[in-house]
């Protein structure tokens, strides 16, 4: 579900009474890069105001979306604000938003988007906290003498806004008082489109916390705890005023370096062990945390009807209720391994399917398990640790009964967690070892290993994290299918939740392809509106039991990020947005013919015509892929089909028509009526392009003659 805020018509009239036209700075319509939110945290059960920085204006904002329901956020500016940032590294202009958070809102990090009548935004984050929010004052607070006074507990929100900036906060403490200091910096800015601050090496804030006592001596300091974010937990040694210092470990700074430090005297739990429990069973878990009093363990009971997956729970201790803690429910039995399983000879024998919970308690610790496999069968072994905020960076090794290593896996796609699909070369017993890449250990070096016979399956990814369409225009997304454990069939692509007036052309990824295009189309009379959407893949798959089932998976979502040196990277996020906007730079992009039939070795000419907005005469480029310089992020054509010689891939000046050649090699892969689109790209800045598409072209490639 999503949380949506709509603004009233009266508010829109009030806000933009002085302006009925878009600004000249927006003659090129790029998506809105949200670069910071300050304060980054809001307390549940309160109303507050935040400032959202953006590279282009957020005027005409009419709706906000959160990845989970509850939060209401409305645009608060009452007059237009001109904002256009030519520099790709600039923090942008701040815009005010009013935020209303229900008392029942779950604390945590939420992803949000903004829709304006001329564009939709990139993703940004906002925190919901249990504690009163204290905002850094607009004065010098860089020393203990100038420190800002705060209370305990509180959520202190500031900005390390320039190089060598240091923020100090003073609070009164008592000897023996147990406190935690939890910094959120990277965790609330890692999905920002552009965070390059200086050169290729200074990107996200690398926060460091330093606590000094009443006598001025440093009593605690931490740099990296959860990724690059810091954490302190301790008993205060004496009565008096303490000073907490917040800065970047490199003394870097930027207006985008928003942070929140939760200062708390309440029970705090990082994790529980094991953190995966079986559905329909009772499990005793041990907390990893502070200020828990006499509480050493929690009893967790999961009803048999509860769904599998992640959930958040608060636990009761002798000192009160804890913060929400992540816990995963599995349908598989669970076991625990430890130092007693540190050799092949002492390996824990598994009965599949099973979940294995481990914790590295000694340096260079390794855990061994074993399982019996059947020749030719495929087994799935997958670790979950880094993806849930744990520091463990696992390495997974598989060997046979003679000790010969058969597989070594470190990082799976988009994570440092290990994963492999192992095909047993013979009947027999196989040994699995798990260790940390850097031989580290500690209370939080936990992991969970899933071991099971793999079902034929697939995963979905691609380039589809936002779309903007003017009335009567088209936009193109790219989808990639990764088939698993012997599945080789077609996958139907579906899009759910499209805004009113927007449709997509049905498409199925053929069995002989991995990638395809999803073409979105806005009706000529479509009105301005937006929504969060979801891309799914659906396939009919025969399982191990021989029965066919409909298998549906939501696609992994990544956002486009500007990397150091002008490159691009991809980062996992949670939302996709589609918006119908006012007419953009291109009013129409058409291609003829709308159907092409090729035989191997043949070529076809496509006429592409654009209709420009009256104020737009800049160059427009054409492509068949989602590419950025030499990097291709998404393709759509079958193998052996591509752009032929003689193609005109650029509309210069006021050019309105060009030809595009589609050519099939002698070994072109056959397809039937596969919808494709020619990407029509308007460059907005060095790193931003607005992508349009032609109408769908249905491509058929005949099989090669025998």
CA dihedral sign, ordered 130, 179, 161, 387? negative
Distance CA 35, CA 32 (A): 9
Rounded to two decimals, the pTM is 0.93
For 300-317, the pLDDT digits (tens) are 999 988 999 999 999 999
| Bridge partners of residue 367, in order along the sequence | 434
Residue 434 has pLDDT above 60, yes or no: yes
**CATH class held by domain 133-264:** mainly beta
Q: Helix, strand or coil for residue 9?
A: helix
Q: What is the pLDDT of residue 629?
A: 73
Mean pLDDT for 219-223 is 96
For 249-283, the pLDDT digits (tens) are 999 999 999 999 999 999 999 999 999 999 999 99
For 60-69, the pLDDT digits (tens) are 999 999 999 9
Token output for 445: 């070096």
Which fold is adopted by the domain 3-129? Immunoglobulin-like (2.60.40)
Q: What is the pLDDT of residue 88?
A: 59
Domain 334-454, CATH 2.60.120.380 — does that match?
A: yes
Q: Which residues, other chains included, contact 243 with Cβ-Cβ below 8 Å and sequence gap of 6+? A: 144, 147, 168, 169, 170, 211, 212
Domains 3-129 and 268-330 share a fold: yes
Q: Hey, which CATH number is domain 268-330, 3.40.50, 2.60.40, 1.25.40, 2.60.120?
A: 2.60.40
For 456-467, the pLDDT digits (tens) are 999 999 999 999
Q: What is the pLDDT of residue 652?
A: 80
Token output for 624: 């068949």
Mean pLDDT for 527-537 is 97
For 455-505, the pLDDT digits (tens) are 999 999 999 999 999 999 999 999 999 999 999 999 999 999 999 999 999
Q: How confident is the model at residue 18 (pLDDT cuts 50, 70, 90)?
A: very low
Q: Could you tell me which residue, 215 or 570, shows the higher pLDDT?
A: 215
Distance CA 423, CA 414 (A): 23
For 95-140, the pLDDT digits (tens) are 999 999 999 999 999 999 999 999 999 999 999 999 999 999 999 9
Phi-psi region of 71 (alpha: psi -120 to 50; beta: other; left: phi over 0): beta
DSSP secondary structure of 537-573? EEEEEE-TTS-EEEEEEEPP-EEEEEPGGG-EEEEE-
Mean pLDDT for 568-576 is 89
Place of tokens 């049905």: 506
Strands of the sheet containing 394-399, edge to edge, are 348-349, 366-373, 428-436, 394-399, 405-409
């Amino acid at each position: 579900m999503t949380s949506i805020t709509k603004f009233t018509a009266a508010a829109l009239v009030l806000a933009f009474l002085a302006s009925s036209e878009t600004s000249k700075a927006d003659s090129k319509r790029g998506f809105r890069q949200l670069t910071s939110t300050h304060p980054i945290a809001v307390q549940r059960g309160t109303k507050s105001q935040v400032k959202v920085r953006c590279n282009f204006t957020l005027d005409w904002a009419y709706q906000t979306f959160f990845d989970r329901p509850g939060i209401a956020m409305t645009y608060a500016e009452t007059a237009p604000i001109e904002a256009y940032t030519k520099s790709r590294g600039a923090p942008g202009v701040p815009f005010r938003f009013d935020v209303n958070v229900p008392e029942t809102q779950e604390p945590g990090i939420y992803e949000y988007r903004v829709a304006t009548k001329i564009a939709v935004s990139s993703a940004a984050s906002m925190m919901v906290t249990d504690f009163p929010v204290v905002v850094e004052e607009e004065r010098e607070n860089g020393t203990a003498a100038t420190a800002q006074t705060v209370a305990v507990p509180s959520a202190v929100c500031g900005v390390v806004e320039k190089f060598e900036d240091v923020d100090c906060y003073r609070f009164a403490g008592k000897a023996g008082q147990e406190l935690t200091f939890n910094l959120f910096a990277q965790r609330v800015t890692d999905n920002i489109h552009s965070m390059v601050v200086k050169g290729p090496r200074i990107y996200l804030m690398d926060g460091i916390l330093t606590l000094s006592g009443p006598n001025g001596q440093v009593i605690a300091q931490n740099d990296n705890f959860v990724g690059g974010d810091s954490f302190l937990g301790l008993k205060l040694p004496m009565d008096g005023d303490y000073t907490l210092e917040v800065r970047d470990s490199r003394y870097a700074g930027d207006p985008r370096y928003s942070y929140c430090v939760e200062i708390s005297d309440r029970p705090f739990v990082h994790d529980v062990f094991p953190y995966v429990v079986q559905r329909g069973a009772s499990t005793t878990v041990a907390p990893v945390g502070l200020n828990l009093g006499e509480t050493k363990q929690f009893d967790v009971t999961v009803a048999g009807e509860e769904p599998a997956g992640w959930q958040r729970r608060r636990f009761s201790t002798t000192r009160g209720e804890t913060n929400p803690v992540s816990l995963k429910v599995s349908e598989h039995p669970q076991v625990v391994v430890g130092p007693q399983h540190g050799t092949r000879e002492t390996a824990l024998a598994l009965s599949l399917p099973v979940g294995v919970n481990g914790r590295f308690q000694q340096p260079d610790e390794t855990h061994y398990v074993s399982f019996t496999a059947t020749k030719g069968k495929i087994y799935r072994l997958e670790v979950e640790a880094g993806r849930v905020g744990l520091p463990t960076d696992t390495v997974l090794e598989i060997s046979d009964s003679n000790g010969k290593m058969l597989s070594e896996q470190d990082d799976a796609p988009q994570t440092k967690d290990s994963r492999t699909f192992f095909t047993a070369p013979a009947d027999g017993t196989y040994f699995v070892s798990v260790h940390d890449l850097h031989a580290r250990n500690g209370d939080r070096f936990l992991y969970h290993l899933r071991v099971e016979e793999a079902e034929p399956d697939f995963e979905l990814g691609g380039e589809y994290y936002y779309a903007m369409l003017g009335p009567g225009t088209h936009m193109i997304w790219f989808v990639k299918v990764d088939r698993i454990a012997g599945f080789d069939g077609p996958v139907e692509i579906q899009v759910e939740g499209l805004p009113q007036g927007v449709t997509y052309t049905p498409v199925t990824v053929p069995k002989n392809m991995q990638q395809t295009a999803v073409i979105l189309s806005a009706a000529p009379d479509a009105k301005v509106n937006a929504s969060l959407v979801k891309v799914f893949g659906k396939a009919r798959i025969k399982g191990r039991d021989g029965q066919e089932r409909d298998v549906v998976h939501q696609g992994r979502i990544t956002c486009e990020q500007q990397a150091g040196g002008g490159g691009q990277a991809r980062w996992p996020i949670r939302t996709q947005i589609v918006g119908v906007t006012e007419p953009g730079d291109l009013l129409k992009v058409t291609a003829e013919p709308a159907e092409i039939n090729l035989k191997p070795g043949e070529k076809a000419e496509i006429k592409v015509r654009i209709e420009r907005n009256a104020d737009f005469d800049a160059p427009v480029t054409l492509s068949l892929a989602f590419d950025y310089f030499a990097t291709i992020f998404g393709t759509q054509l079958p193998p052996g089909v591509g752009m032929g010689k003689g193609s005109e891939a650029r509309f210069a000046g006021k050019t309105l028509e060009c030809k595009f050649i589609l050519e099939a090699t002698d070994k072109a892969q056959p397809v039937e009526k596969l919808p494709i689109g020619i990407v029509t790209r308007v460059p907005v800045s060095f790193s931003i392009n607005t992508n349009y598409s032609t109408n769908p072209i249905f491509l058929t490639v005949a099989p090669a003659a025998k």
